[in-house]
Amino acid sequence: MAPPRFPPSSSAARLPPRSTPPEPRPSPPAAAAGAAALAPGSLEEVLLQAAFDGNLRLVRKMARALDEGDGRRLGDKVGAVRDSNGVGALHLAAGRGSLPVCGYLLEELRVDIDAVEDRGETALTFAINSGNADMVRYLLDHGADTEKLNNDGLTVLHFASGEGNS
């Protein structure tokens, strides 16, 4: 059975117009990490799906499984797992409002809170677009950059004001 697609923001029509229309977001398993496609059932695919689902237990398990003992920091490894649009576990968890998963990724693994996907959007943008004030507050309290520009030259404040949450 196919996993649910990442739901688009219901208020996308109120956001400032983009220079080019955004491409539809695939669900995490249909995606790629870097240049290599994620194999069905791969650790990376399961990690992204677990983050999307808010399944902290499975996110922890998949993160531990990614640790190959090569000296690379586990947070860097987890942060490098992306779908074909550059969306990572933190983007997915923030967009879905999963505070436990975001807490694990940020506080324990120390993934980059300001990591961007292909359009230059951060987890904070995903949280704002989902309308989840608690998640937005959490990300701001943990140092999310409100002045980072996306590929269209907009900051998250543009999105927040478009959402009526300034």
Q: What is the pLDDT of residue 137?
A: 97
**CA separation, residue 56 to residues 12, 53, 109, 111, 165 (Å):** 28, 9, 13, 15, 28
Q: What is the pTM of this model?
A: 0.74
Element of type H or E holding 133 = helix 133-141
**Domain spans of the chain?**
35-163
Q: What is the pLDDT of residue 37?
A: 57
Phi-psi region of 143 (alpha: psi -120 to 50; beta: other; left: phi over 0): left
CB 85 within 8 A of CB 31: yes
**What string of pLDDT tens digits covers the 166 residues of the chain?**
444 444 444 433 334 444 443 443 434 444 333 334 566 778 999 999 999 999 999 999 999 999 877 778 999 999 999 999 999 999 999 999 999 999 999 999 999 999 999 999 999 999 999 999 999 999 999 999 999 999 988 888 777 766 444 4
CATH fourth-level superfamily of 35-163: Ankyrin repeat-containing domain (1.25.40.20)
